[in-house]
Amino acid sequence: MAASNLTVGRVRGIPIRLHVTFLLVLPFFAYIMAEAYFDRGEGFPGPLALVWGGALAVTLFASVVLHELSHSLTAMRYGVRIKSITLLPIGGVSAMERMPSEPWQERRIALAGPVVNFAIGLPIVAVTRLELIPAIVPQFDTFVGWVGWLNVLLGAFNLFLPAFPMDGGRVLRATLAARMGYDRATGWATGIGRALAFVMGAFGFVMLLRGAGGGIWLLLIAFFIYLGANEEERMVGMTTRLGDLTVERIMTRQPETLSPEATLDVVFDRMLATKHLHFPVTEGDRALGVVGLTDVASVDRSTHPTTRVRDILKPTFPALPPEAPAADALRKLSEGQDDMILVLRDGRLEGIVTRTDVARIVQILGAGAG
């Protein structure tokens, strides 16, 4: 787990994580909601208003988790592995190992999140509009009403904004892919997303110039959408170029390896000589783990002559069989923290795939196609 994330629970084996920046902005959201919905105009919101604002902020982000869980559980029905769900200040992210290749499956996965929000929000809005909630606590009906409206807004924002990485962008891509193919559909959907990001960014900039507080949020969302569209287009383009290639075709054979008995000063000298930052650790041809520069640097330099590789190696590491699609290596390297994948057959090391390997293969294939 990345040091910037805190795991707070698991649902169906899916880790639910909070990014540390989320913990920093949660009090800010609580204050904003207290002032907007529960303050009685007495200046700084009172303690009771802050409690209600905090409860509403927590409930909103709980709705985001339910939204992402709905995506993830639907994806799992189609054999997609979910690595984690991470809660960020601007929403949630489900880290899926891949998206299904069938457009109708991607569409169902994308629709699942907003459907859950509408299922929560619309009945609550209807009940509060009909004043069916007894006013036992003066601010309770306000709290319940905004839980409903925020869920409706969350579902609508994700569904009706046709831009990656929002759900509307994936629904649009899946709909177009059924008619024009995955690559062209991605190009159209990401192009629309970038155009929408520019429009939102322009509005946000004008709002900032006029002193409107929402301008900065609109700019952040526009930036998020623009990056998401570019990343989706880049990943689909690279996956398309890799085509039917297997990991065996792109791996580096007979890579430099380390013995578990090697000392860290030997490892450091090997890094200087080869310019490599990561090494597989093997005993014979059996892979035992991986050692990288950060592992070596975490050990006091004065102990390098006596510290051995076996003392610091990471026994868990990303690995693929030689016959796996090369696109799987691309996904693992793009989504994870690791820079190297070991290629194993029955536990024996046959090669490695690095980010540089994939980038160069894609570049060569692109030149060949041109």
Is-contact 301 314, C-beta < 8 A?
A: no
Q: What is the CB neighbour count within 10 angstroms for residue 272?
A: 9
252 in Cβ contact with 351 (< 8 Å): yes
User: Please, what's the largest Cα pairwise distance for the chain?
Assistant: 76
Q: Looking at the DSSP assignment, which residues form a beta bridge with residue 82?
A: 96
CA-based Rg of the chain, rounded to a whole angstrom? 25
Q: How many CB atoms lie within 10 A of CB 123?
A: 12
Q: How many other CB atoms sit within 10 Å of the CB of residue 8?
A: 11
Tokens coding 166 = 């929002």
- The residue length of the chain stands at 370
The Cα–Cα gap between 172 and 177 comes to 8
Q: Which token pair is 252?
A: 């580096």
Catalytic residue set: 68
